[in-house]
Chain A
Amino acid sequence: MGEVDVHALRGVNLTLLDSEFLVLLGPSGSGKSTLLNILGGLDVPTAGRVLYRGHDLTAAEDRELTDYRRRHVGFVFQFYNLIPSLTARENVALVTDIAEHPLAPTEALDLVNLTDRLDHFPSQLSGGEQQRVAIARAIAKRPDVLLCDEPTGALDISTGIVVLEAIERINRELGTATAVITHNAAVSAIADTVITLSDGRIGSVRENDHKLRAHTLEW
């Protein structure tokens, strides 16, 4: 079988505003993760432009992208991506070690209600706890953008809601612009803006006038 060119995204145009809570909704293979990677400076599009506060990330060198991620972006991944050999506190310290004005690791873990799990290793934490550590790690640097890739994808409903509450709280209290991608339509109820993606294209953009709180969600 030969190589086949696959375009994950085509003609996507969107804006993320300060302290906005954005949900990107779409089924598997709709290009959500690729979009998030591009927004987070992990990947560069083959065509088109990505601007962050006027800086062109598409033209940035590897070093500048690293710098962008280091200063401005917080990532939360579907599979948490904690370093298994480090405790909760140390996983957060991984970020505070290199950030400019970080929260203290305990402070960040407090924001996600994990003060009693500071010295546990990832293998000693439940899925929801691991994801909350990941969130604490993402926000400890006080990022300008928080990008969450299926943060509840691997969790059951009640744990998922705890995690969403944490994200919601960060967005609300720290005013961090937040983009959450998910295939779970129920999550869109807590967003300011909901964008649906299918086959690498934006299907619809919808302002959410009846924004709900995470703890009222059901799916």
Chain B
Amino acid sequence: MQALNRKLLRDLWRVKGQAVAISLVIAVGVVMLVMYSSAFDSLRLTQTSYYERQRFADIFVTLKRAPSRLRDRIANIPGVAQVETRVVVDVTLDVEGLSEPATGRLISIPTLRRSMLNDIVIQRGRYIDGTRPDEVIVNEAFALAHDLTPGDTVSAIINGRRRDMEVVGFGLSPEFIYTIRPGELIPDDTRFGVFWMERRALAAAFDMEGGFNDVTLSLMPGARESEVIQQLDTLIENYGGFGAIPRDLQLSHWSLTQELNGLQGVGQMVPLVFLSIAAFLLNVVLTRMVSVQREQIATLKALGYANAVIGWHYTKWALAIALTGAVIGTAGGAAMGTAMTSIYNDFFRFPELTYRLLPSVVTSGVVISLLAGVLGAATAVRRAVRLPPAEAMRPQPPARYRVSLIERLGIRGVLSQPARIVLRNIQRQPVRSLASVTGIAFSVAMLIVGTFSIDAMNEMMDVQFSIAQRQDVTVSFVEPASAAARHELQRLPGVVSIEPTRSIPARLRFGSRSRQLALSGLPEEPRLNRVIEVTDLSAVTLPPNGLVVSRKLAEILGVDRGDVVRVEILHGARPVREVVVADVVKEYMGLSAYMEIDSVRRLLRESDTLSGGFVTVDPSQLDEFYRALKETPLVAGVTLRGAALESFEETFAENINVMIFFNVLFASIIACGVVYNAARMSLSERSRELASLRVIGFTRAEISSILLGELAVLTCMAIPIGLLFGYGLAALVVTLFDTELYSFPLAVAPRTYALSTLAVLAATVLSGLIVRRKLDTLDLVEVLKTRE
């Protein structure tokens, strides 16, 4: 090996502590990059191949009822490749061990298995036997939530009569990767199940023989989606079509896409932060290295080493550290990516979610690390290259110090000599001090960003499920019903109060933009299901004639208060009205449009109808209430406020703890890396000075306080900056994760600030102690003998 390379290795070994610290910071950046990117790729690739294999449809529509012969006319629409007509019905379920009613979505499947759109993957058990009308395949998540095994039965209330369905298999479908009931905000696998049932059996039970109420279709390559949708809508208009939606808006697909977008955003942002810190650390350490070795550099030049060789020598130094970081980071990132991908399997259901680490991800991790290394090394290398050899032979002039700013404020007399040394040293190297402060502040900020998601989630859940929604149960009817239905509900045991709702499928159109959703008709001043403006938590009053839309929806449509929106009702006589946007409300979850209930009824030319109700129930009579509800034929679906929340928080909590652990670990690595490096730098620059102080009679504790005092001052300066910075970064993350699905509140709890501060203080103290140990073993004679 060349002598110069030996020098490189031995120099690296001498500063191994610092080198490892920097490598770890780089590693953390690469872990983040590899983890997010590979999880993204894995989900994306799994999604694509799953869609392809199971023929996920391109267009979806539900309607009231159409005769079977309409199928051929749909198939003849130009651009349509394959059509699947189905019967899809929501029913109330009575599941053993669950006192409250659950909701089942029954979907028809062919008697004999054949390839179809949205084909089912059978994970366990078998396909239905066409001759036995009660056999069903259930979605796997529901089966797991209830510990079902093939052969178990689940009871559905169909038209007021109990009907036992025998589970013969567990299935998955690309339509239900994210299994959420329409209109719901969070998934609840315990209380919402999908059941695939033989077509004739299902049709017979719901008076759908010779007809269908659901169409999915796939397009030929090059077909124009919007044109097909338009023709399809025209074709089914008379059959009560609710408006076709493209795949992009299909609930499961849309949720998955939103999540993937968030993942990608964070995966691109966060690693950069870590790598910039690493570059900065490299810069500090390498600059110091070059200044310590200025005579060596001059000697090498005198011996005839070219500038380029010397520049490359120090660049390799940085590259070695960066490469080590990249290797550790890639391995760690792959492990964490695997873990993250399997966490995703709790929320998204794939037949097999295979983890894939693409070579391109590894390459980009390595390249970005090396780039950070080169950038970090740049100024130091330039300094080494530019060093005039003749000048460098002469010893460096003593460092320039000045009376520090704080001292000049007139408190000079108050400060002890060591305190003056600390202050003057910080001020002598303002850039490095500032850089250390920035680095420590960054780690505080990282901690805040890493943990505030819990605060945000809590805030979101609190606003949604305690401030906005105050009902115990939300009941939705099979069909819109008259005022009599309200009285029927009122008579159920335990019911304290009822608030009616009239919700209706509609398409809102503004200019060229449109969106389909359920338009909610609520009382003018809802008491139970309230509309809350989250910025000030005020309850919104619904105006007598006008639309209140959530901010997210307003953004999608490009509307603002005062704009006039075209409301196309996709029901009944399908009236179309121009309605003014009376208010835009910021909400955390979902897309919503609200109108005062009577104006919805007027729009529909109905009186006193309701499509469901929000109910409060006497807790002591809850079981009786549930039992009665299960028997009520009118009821198609029931949502329990507390239950859904609980199950969601359970799933969420499991994962969030893991996430927090790693965030704290990563932030501590940064804090330790920055503080340890700062301390080692000071020690290396000032060991002579400190040794001299020891010689003239200062104790170990006193010289430690000079060195560590500097760190303490820097840390104390950094923490408030870090807290502010963390809030800023949290705001950035909130923006990055601002999807149509959720907008996270920028809520950082005092506890999060406190924990972040404590964690960084702990990391500082730890690094300080490590360096302090070095200080204790300072060899006075040796240090004073060597020439700087």
Interface residues of A (CB under 8 A from B): 33-34, 37, 40, 42-43, 62-63, 66-67, 69-71, 73, 75, 77, 79, 81-86, 90-91, 93-95, 97-99, 137, 141
The reply to whether A137 and B3 contact each other, CB–CB distance below 8 Å, is no
> Assuming A66-B304, A70-B303, A95-B303, is B390 touching A37 (CB within 8 A)?
yes
Report whether B3 and A75 are in contact in the complex, using a CB–CB cutoff of 8 Å.
no
Alpha-carbon distance A93/B1, docked complex (angstroms): 10
B114 → chain A, closest Cβ, in Å?
75
A81: nearest residue on chain B (CB-CB)?
B299
Q: Closest approach, in angstroms, between the C-beta of B244 and any C-beta of chain A?
A: 73
How far, in Å, is B151 (CB) from chain A's closest CB?
74
B303–A79 touching, CB < 8 Å: no
Interface string of B281-311 (1 = CB under 8 A from A): 0000000000000011011111111110000
Tell whether, in the assembled complex, residue B390 and residue A42 are in contact, meaning their CB atoms are under 8 Å apart: yes
A42 touches B304 (CB 8 A): no
Known pairs A42-B302, A93-B3; A81 contacts B390 (CB<8 A): no
Given contacts A42-B301, A81-B296, A85-B10, contact A94 B390 (CB under 8 A): no
Q: Which residues from chain A contact B787 at a C-beta distance below 8 Å?
A: 79
The residue on B at minimum CB distance from A72 is B304
How many residues of B sit at the interface, in one of the four size bands? 20 to 34
State the Cβ distance, A39 to closest chain B Cβ, in Å.
Answer: 11
Are B304 and A77 interface neighbours, CB within 8 A?
no
User: Are A85 and B304 within 8 A (Cβ)?
Assistant: no
Q: How far is the CB of B575 from chain A (nearest CB, A)?
A: 85
B295 and chain A: residue at smallest CB distance: A81
- B305 partner residues in chain A, CB cutoff 8 A: 66, 70, 98
Query: Cβ of B303: which chain A residues have Cβ within 8 Å of it?
Result: 69-70, 75, 94-95, 98, 137
Which partner residue on chain A sits nearest B388 by CB separation? A43
Name B9-51 residues within 8 Å CB distance of A: 10-11, 14
A86 touches B301 (CB 8 A): no
Within the complex, the shortest CB–CB distance from B82 to chain A, in Å, comes to 72
B144 at interface by CB-CB < 8 Å:
no
Q: Are the CB atoms of B3 and A67 closer together than 8 Å?
A: no
Q: Do the beta carbons of B3 and A77 come within 8 Å of each other?
A: no
Nearest CB of chain B from residue A89's CB, rounded to whole Å = 9
Which residue in chain B gives the minimum CB-CB distance to A63? B306
B14 touches A85 (CB 8 A): yes
Is there contact, CB below 8 Å, between A40 and B3?
no
Q: Could you say which residues of chain A place their CB within 8 Å of the CB of B10?
A: 85-86
Contact A62 B307 (CB under 8 A): yes
Q: Which 10 A-B pairs have the closest CB atoms?
A: A70-B304, A85-B10, A43-B390, A93-B3, A81-B299, A37-B390, A69-B304, A94-B3, A42-B390, A90-B3
Q: Is the CB of B3 within 8 A of A97?
A: yes
Identify the closest chain B residue to A154 (Cβ). Answer: B787
Whether A66 contacts B306 by the Cβ 8 Å rule is yes
Contact of B513 with A by CB under 8 A: no
18 contacting pairs across A/B (C-beta < 8 A): A37-B390, A37-B393, A40-B302, A66-B301, A66-B304, A66-B305, A67-B304, A69-B302, A70-B306, A77-B299, A83-B296, A84-B296, A85-B6, A86-B3, A91-B3, A94-B303, A95-B303, A99-B304
B389 at the interface (CB under 8 A from A): yes
Known: A43-B390, A83-B296. A98 touches B6 (CB 8 A): no
- Contact partners of A77 in chain B: CB under 8 A: 299, 302, 393
Q: Does B7 contact A (CB under 8 A)?
A: yes
B115 adjacent to chain A (CB < 8 Å): no
Q: With the chains together, A139 CA to B10 CA distance in Å?
A: 25
Determine the distance from Cα of A83 to Cα of B389 in the docked complex, in whole angstroms: 15
In the bound complex, how far is the Cα of B10 from the Cα of A98, in angstroms? 20
Give chain B nearest CB distance to A91 CB in angstroms: 7
Q: For the complex, give the distance between the alpha carbons of A98 and B389 in Å.
A: 18
Instruction: State whether the Cβ of B406 lies closer than 8 Å to any Cβ in chain A.
Output: no
Q: Could you tell me the distance in whole angstroms from the C-beta of B566 to the nearest C-beta in chain A?
A: 75
CB nearest to A87 among chain B residues: B6
Residue on A nearest B10 in the bound complex, by CB: A85
User: In the assembly, what is the distance between CA of A86 and CA of B303, in Å?
Assistant: 15
CB distance A83 to B299 under 8 Å? yes
The CA of A33 and the CA of B393, in the complex, are separated in Å by: 10
Instruction: Please give, as numbers and ranges, the residues of chain A lying within 8 Å of B298 by CB-CB distance.
Output: 42, 81
Residues of B within 8 A of A79 (CB): 295, 787
CA distance A106 to B780 in the complex (A): 35
- Indicate which residue in B14, B299, B302, B304 contacts A98 across the interface (CB closer than 8 Å): B304
Q: How far is the CB of A2 from the nearest CB of chain B, in Å?
A: 17
> B785: nearest residue on chain A (CB-CB)?
A123
Q: Which residues of B contact A84 (CB under 8 A)?
A: 296
B303's closest neighbor in chain A, by CB? A95
- Give the CA-CA distance A141 to B303 in the complex, in Å: 10
Question: Which residue in chain B gives the minimum CB-CB distance to A37?
Answer: B390
Q: How far is the CB of A76 from chain B (nearest CB, A)?
A: 10
The verdict on B4 contacting chain A, using a C-beta distance below 8 Å, is yes
Specify which chain A residues have a CB less than 8 angstroms from the CB of B390 in the assembled complex.
Answer: 34, 37, 42-43
Q: Would you call A85 and B11 a contact (CB within 8 A)?
A: yes
- Interface status of B2 (Cβ within 8 A of chain A): yes
Report whether A86 and B6 are in contact in the complex, using a CB–CB cutoff of 8 Å.
yes
Residues of A within 8 A of B300 (CB): 83, 94
Contacts of A63 in B (CB 8 A): 306
Complex contacts, A67 vs chain B, CB 8 Å:
304
Asked if residues B7 and A86 are in contact (CB atoms below 8 Å), the reply is: yes
Q: Least Cβ distance of B110 to chain A in Å?
A: 77
CB closest residue in chain B, given A68: B304
Per the 8 Å Cβ criterion, residues 686-724 of B in contact with A are none
Nearest B-chain residue to A92, judged by Cβ: B3
**Nearest B residue (CB) for A70:** B304
Task: Point out the residues of chain B lying under 8 angstroms from A75, CB to CB.
Answer: 299, 302-303
Chain A residue nearest to B14 in the complex (CB)? A85
Given A66-B307, A83-B299, A98-B305, output 16 extra A-B contacts at Cβ < 8 Å.
A33-B393, A37-B390, A42-B393, A66-B301, A66-B305, A69-B304, A70-B306, A79-B295, A79-B787, A81-B393, A86-B6, A90-B3, A93-B2, A94-B7, A97-B2, A137-B303
With the chains together, A66 CA to B306 CA distance in Å? 6
In Å, the complex CA distance between A73 and B302 comes to 9
Cα A73 to Cα B300 with chains together (Å): 13
Residues of chain A with a CB closer than 8 A to B2's CB:
93, 97
A98 CA to B393 CA, complexed, in Å: 21
A66 to B3 CA separation, bound complex (whole angstroms): 19
CB distance from B295 to the nearest CB of A (A): 6
The CA of A83 and the CA of B303, in the complex, are separated in Å by: 12
A16 vs chain B, min Cβ distance (A): 18
Q: How far is the CB of B8 from chain A (nearest CB, A)?
A: 9
Contacts of B306 in A (CB 8 A): 63, 66, 70
Least CB separation from B11: chain A residue: A85
A35 to chain B, nearest CB (A): 11
The CA of A62 and the CA of B390, in the complex, are separated in Å by 13
- The complex places the Cα of A86 from the Cα of B6 at a distance, in Å, of 7
Q: Please give, as numbers and ranges, the residues of chain B lying within 8 Å of A81 by CB-CB distance.
A: 295-296, 298-299, 302, 393
